[in-house]
Chain A
Amino acid sequence: MRTFAALLDALVFMPSRNGKIRLMADYFAQVPDPDRGWGLAALTGALSFSAAKPAGVRALVMERVDPVLFGWSHDFVGDLAETVALIWPERPGANREPTLSEVVEALGAAHRGAVLGLLERWLDALDADGRFALIKLITGSLRVGVSARLAKTALAEWGGQDVDAIEEVWHGLTPPYAPLFAWLEGRADRPAVSEGAGFRPLMLANPLEDTDLGALDPVAYNAEWKWDGIRVQVVARGGERRLYSRTGDDIGRAFPDILEVMDFDAVLDGELLVVRDGQVAPFNDLQQRLNRKQVTARMLRDFPAHVRLYDLLFEGPEDLRGMPFGARRERLELWHARVAPRRMDLSPLIPFEGWETLAALRAGAREAAIEGLMLKRADSLYVPGRPKGPWFKWKRGALTLDVVMMYAQRGHGKRSSFYSDYTFGVWREGELVPVGKCYSGFTDEELVRLDRWIRNNTVRRFGPVREVAPGLVLEVAFDSVHRSTRHKSGVAMRFPRVHRIRWDKPAAEADRLEMLERLIVE
């Protein structure tokens, strides 16, 4: 339990992706079976308990500590689980420290009424970090700060295998994954490729550079819209139903309305959207549905989910991935006509003559739900990863706005000595209102100059945050604007990034809020 708790802590503090990978690989190397397997399950989200409620944990600690002291402590620390973990009066030597496996097994076997008793014994035996991890695990609020995909990437790196090779076998395995570790350590053969409802790594597109276009033969390509939702894999096999994100995270729990209509046997590739009366809603609406543990009837009604289908990977047991795109598309259309699943339609192919007509279509598409175009070679097989050539994404030109820098904060990792994260605003009745944050789109040399400007123009400091004088205009590019109740300005921009730094432009000439509001997609 101690090593697992230390890993969780280290992951939370480590900002860099490579750093996280190395921490996880070190854990897999150091910890024996079956503990590391349960650790992996926790990292990939396959281990989740809601064995105890925060109120139960609170009641437990109240039997041991002065309520007044607890109140002050909770105010100071903020987080309940952390307060309990830190304040818990230890009874040294009271019990032996449990392993992660012992915790998992005991929780699996215990009936609800016994959980708090177990928890109390374990809290006595663990140190503060162990107690924190345990409480988070038991109350189902473990945040590991990595995606399932990243955990598998670390596993692949440690075992010297390709991450997609792990994905292929993943679904056939269950925690604590002993055969997987045996294979990665060279002690056993690769586990059988899963036939079940596992995730198949997606085929991804490369961004299209303007220079690419001349070299491409328009006749060889199909075009379709790139919809502004979440790329998903719809998997219904042998009675199991799964909805996976692009990185293989199972997001089905948040979308029961999609799972409900998957009464077929197939694996499909598509875009998850919110569609109301046939109209695709702004991305912001889909966001209301993401990462929810509880889905209310009201949310299902107000934000109905929908999948727009791009591709068919399996029909029944038949693997279509080795067929050309054109043939798969025909099969997809036939399948869709025959099965006619609710909440699912086809992403239409766009007929076009040459690149000029397609460019004109792309330029004219102002519909919010369209992010741009996809180009797919008619003869392209479905290959996991991002092969160069068969598929391109041709994004719609971004919107831009001139904004004023208001606050700057230090970055993380390599950028921790630079002010690299900016909050910017636009004018409203002679005042600046913050409308967004950005931290990319500039070169290292520009960052050095921005950092110097910020240090020379700071008017107030709030710990790591500096407020700067309204004197620097940034031209930010962004994909779209939506209404938002989370922002004081009432608007939220999608993917804002620095397009140009307007050292020359007076702040007073930056854009006004009305300008941004006009770009809102309803």
Chain B
Amino acid sequence: MAALPERPESWIRVCPEGLFVEPAGIYIDPVRPVDRAVVTHAHADHARPGNRAVLATAETLAIMRQRIGPAAGQTQQAVPYGEVLRLGEVDVALVPAGHVLGSAQVVLTWRGRRVVVSGDYKRRLDPTCAPFEPVPCDLFVSEATFGLPVFRHPPTGHEIAKLVHSLALFPERAHVVGVYALGKCQRLIAELRGAGFDDPIYLHGALVPICAIYESFGVPMGELRPALAATREEMRGRVVLAPPSAIADRWARRLPDPVTAMASGWMRVRQRARQRGIELPLVISDHADWDELTETITELGARQLWVTHGNEEPLVHWARGRGIAAEALALVGFDEGGEGEPPPLAGEEEPPTGDVLPLSAPEDA
């Protein structure tokens, strides 16, 4: 056993503000405003407004500025992937997490000990961002959004083919796909383009600015058109992307007899898709599935695992079964800004009774 001072608990701990790295004086993805923050990626539950100094990749900072303006940070320091900075006594580097454009893991080295904080990540290829880079470590701080073994995302090409086939089968209907504004939207576009789909893709207004940022960083999107400016006739047989909250709401009434689709890892479970009235579920996720989570932990060789948010318990159980010292951190404040997932519906005949509360699910799943 190492001497006590090097134990991660002694220099990294959970505070009300978030994960605090004491010898570096930084918080990672803080949920309340702090003096010095390192932000893994620009999703709203990780990149919050009001911090003084913010360190992140240039891509993450650009998206944060677009989303929250000056509140993105009084001083902003862009760090390229792989560059090692000395903060206090700690060597800090950002390496690709493969989650969305600019997403990073935070690699912390202090007194010969290495800790990797994953942020959100995935392992499968994504044409819109740099692939996850495994960094062997002593402690891996992992997300667990899909930390249940029922979550195994199918090959992305399979899901894209489903969408393309449906377009051929229902050429008179628009296909409106619910996507998260950052990441899923651009990835779906890039995957469609990669499959040879060259038709214009129509966008809900909320999706336009981030697509422009992706293009400014050299990720081609092909021809995009604002849905608001298009006629009903024009959108027949077209792909229309919109935030999940808009696909089955008043906004969608402008579309010709739409097929309602949704691209999310949650679509793996039929009942979830059915509750939301989804006609074409597409299981496409920007988070690691169960196999990716467990294989990554094994690959990194970490003897210690902290699980930040998601389905922590099953992953902790799995890791302990393999002799890894695992803990659920129970970080608060994550995944709250997202779309509320519907509660289980009551039986066909019974209306819901008083005590059902909506479950919450991450905005970026």
A residues in contact (CB < 8 Å) with B: 6, 9-10, 12-15, 19, 22-23, 26, 65-66, 68-70, 72-73, 76-79, 82-83, 86-87, 127-128, 406-407, 410, 412-414, 416-417, 423, 434, 437, 461-465, 467, 486-488, 492
Contacts and interface: CB of A to CB of B under 8 A. Distances in A.
Interface stretch (B32-40, B129-137, B278-286, B326-334): B278-286
Interface in B232-278: 248-253, 257-258, 260, 268-271, 273-278
B349 A23 contact: no
B148 A19 contact: no
A242 to B, nearest CB: 30
A82 B277 contact: no
A78 B149 contact: no
A128 B152 contact: yes
A14 B318 CA distance: 37
A349 B236 CA distance: 54
Contacts of B280: 10, 13
B358 A128 contact: no
Contact of A487 (B151, B260, B269, B350): B350
A488 B354 CA distance: 14
B342 interface: yes
Q: Which 5 A-B pairs have the closest CB atoms?
A: A463-B342, A86-B150, A423-B351, A73-B150, A407-B351
B341 interface: yes
Contact of B270 (A26, A82, A413): A82
B152 A26 contact: no
Contacts of B7: none
Interface in B96-121: none
A69 B321 CA distance: 11
12 contacts: A13-B279, A72-B148, A76-B150, A86-B269, A413-B257, A417-B248, A417-B249, A434-B351, A464-B277, A465-B352, A488-B350, A492-B349
A487 B349 CA distance: 7
A284 to B, nearest CB: 13
A416 B148 contact: no
B196 to A, nearest CB: 20
Given A26-B169, A416-B277, A464-B277, A73 B351 contact: no
B326 to A, nearest CB: 14
Contacts of B151: 86
Chain B, interface size category, equals 35 or more
A464 B349 contact: no
A463 B150 contact: no
Contact of B150 (A83, A462, A486): A83
Contacts of B351: 406-407, 423, 434, 437, 465
Given A463-B276, A492-B349, 11 more contacts: A10-B280, A13-B273, A23-B169, A79-B270, A82-B269, A86-B268, A128-B152, A128-B154, A410-B277, A417-B249, A464-B275
Given A14-B279, A78-B271, A86 B349 contact: no
A66 B169 contact: no
Contacts of A412: 277
A461 B347 CA distance: 17
Contacts, number: 121
A345 B230 CA distance: 64
Contacts of B249: 417
A331 to B, nearest CB: 44
A126 to B, nearest CB: 12
B170 interface: yes
B248 A416 contact: yes
Nearest to B257: A414
Contact of A486 (B250, B277, B314, B349): B349
A69 B293 CA distance: 15
Interface string B335-349: 000001111110101
A128 B313 CA distance: 24
B182 to A, nearest CB: 24
A247 B269 CA distance: 32
B125 interface: no
Contacts of B345: 463-465
Interface string B137-163: 000000000001111101000000010
Query: Binding site of B, secondary structure by majority: helix, strand, loop or mixed?
Result: loop
A79 B268 contact: no
B356 interface: yes
Given A417-B253, A465-B345, A487-B349, A66 B270 contact: no
- By CB atoms of chain B within 10 A, which of A13, A66, A413, A414 has the most? A13
B317 interface: yes
A65 B279 contact: no
Contacts of A73: 148-150, 314
A401 to B, nearest CB: 17
A284 B12 CA distance: 65
Nearest to B351: A423
B271 A79 contact: yes
A87 B250 contact: no
A168 B111 CA distance: 84
A69 B322 CA distance: 14
B252 A407 contact: no
Nearest to A72: B314
Contacts of B340: 461, 463
Contact of B250 (A19, A65, A406, A417): A417
Given A73-B148, A77-B150, A463-B275, A66 B269 contact: no
A426 B341 CA distance: 30
A463 B341 contact: yes
Contacts of B344: 78
Contacts of A66: 317-318, 321
B116 to A, nearest CB: 25
B317 to A, nearest CB: 6
A461 B358 contact: yes
Contacts of B273: 13
A73 B165 CA distance: 31
A9 B152 CA distance: 17
Contacts of B251: 417
A426 to B, nearest CB: 13
Nearest to B261: A13
A72 B313 contact: yes
A69 B344 CA distance: 21
- By CB atoms of chain A within 10 A, which of B154, B314, B347 has the most? B314
Contacts of B260: 416
Nearest to A89: B149
Interface string B65-79: 000000000000000
B269 A76 contact: yes
Contacts of A19: 170, 279
B269 A77 contact: yes
Nearest to A68: B317
A312 to B, nearest CB: 38
A77 B271 contact: yes
Contacts of A461: 340, 358
Nearest to A86: B150
A203 to B, nearest CB: 32
Nearest to B276: A464
Contacts of A434: 350-351
A406 B351 CA distance: 9
A70 B149 CA distance: 8
Given A13-B278, A76-B150, A76-B269, A437 B250 contact: no
A378 to B, nearest CB: 43
A31 to B, nearest CB: 14
A410 B275 CA distance: 10
B51 to A, nearest CB: 32
A66 B343 CA distance: 27
Contacts of A10: 280
B358 to A, nearest CB: 6
Given A69-B314, A417-B253, A434-B351, A13 B281 contact: yes
